[in-house]
Every structure is written in C-alpha cells, then in structure tokens.
Amino acid sequence: MEESLALVEYKKLSTKEKLVLYFLIYSFIGWALETFYGFLVLGHFVKRGFLFGPICPIYGFGAVIFILIFDGLKGHNMKKFLISMIVFSIFEFAASWILEMVFHLRWWDYSDAMFNIQGRICLSFSIVWGIAGVIFSNFLHPFIKRKTEKLLERIAFPIQRMIIYTLASVLIIDFVLSSIKYIRL
C-alpha cells in the first residue's frame, strides 16, 4: 500500500495555467482598484472597464507581462522601475489604440495631463507604472504567489483545472458579449 502511494504523482498546474490564473486574479484586483478609485473621485459606484464582469483585462495582461519580465530579476529596483515605466507605457498606449480602432471608444484619456502622447499615456502615469512595477515584483506578486500556492495545495488538481478553465471560459464569453455590445454602438 505504501508503495502505491509513493508512486502517485503529485500534479501541479502548468506554467501556462498558472499564468492564466494570475491573469484572472490581477484582472479582478485591477477592476477592484479602478472601482475604488472611481468611487473616491466621483463619490458613487461607476462601472469600470470594458467587460460586463468584475474584470479589467489590461491589469491581468500587465501583471503577466511583469511576471514574465521580472522572473529571475532580483533586486535592481531602478532597473525594475525603468523597465516597468517603459514597458507598461508602451502596453497602455497599444491597448488604448487597439480599443479605439476596434470599438471607436476611449476608456481613458490623459489629454489634460502634462507630457501626454495623444492622450493615451502621460508622464505622471508612466511614473506610476514604474513604481507599481517595483511594488508588484518586490511585494505584491510574491505575496499573491505564496497565498495562491497555499490555496492550491488544498484543492485537488482536477478541481484546480476545472476552476481555471471555467473562469477562463466565462471570461471569453464575457469578452464576446461585451464586444458585441460595443460594436453595435
């Protein structure tokens, strides 16, 4: 009996599945931050983001980009700051341009901010992205990673995969339905 237990292989999520999981987690965190920020500024709840659900994919994509870039880059906070500032500003510009070309709408506009480029990015938010990258790589992601791995240890592997694939499927459906809504405009 002990031998058969020893032969049971402990399965873990693949790297791609973990990235999907982190994408979902950080997309939700981004939505929560955007919603909280909107509430603070406007004093009432405002639906933030492109999708119907409580997800802002730009944060999920940004987090995955950060995870891939900073994997193995320890210390070097100034390098992290500059890389984050540049990479996320390029990403934010590209996302703004793509959303506008596809849906003819702007989800953010920095035209009133100093040192902006086409209102899609601005220096002040680029600096925020640089600071966010350092905080993300040094504190937030290590914390989320530890908590996620601890939680995953408590959930059977088939259930983990079912949860990830179900949430990803719901996200895809939300994306399709949201796209249809905005294309009709």
Count CB neighbours of 116 within 10 A.
17
Q: Residue 4: inside a domain, yes or no?
A: no
| Nearest-angstrom CA–CA distance, 107 and 171 | 19
Q: Residue 143: inside a domain, yes or no?
A: yes
**Model confidence over 43-89: pLDDT tens digits?**
888 877 788 899 999 899 999 999 998 877 777 899 999 999 999 99
pTM assigned to the model: 0.84
**Model confidence over 145-164: pLDDT tens digits?**
999 999 999 999 999 999 99
- Alpha helices (H) along the chain: 2-7, 15-42, 57-70, 77-103, 123-135, 141-153, 157-183
Q: State how many domains the chain has.
A: 1
Print the domain residue range for 176.
13-183
Angle, to 10 degrees, between the axis of helix 141-153 and the axis of helix 57-70?
100
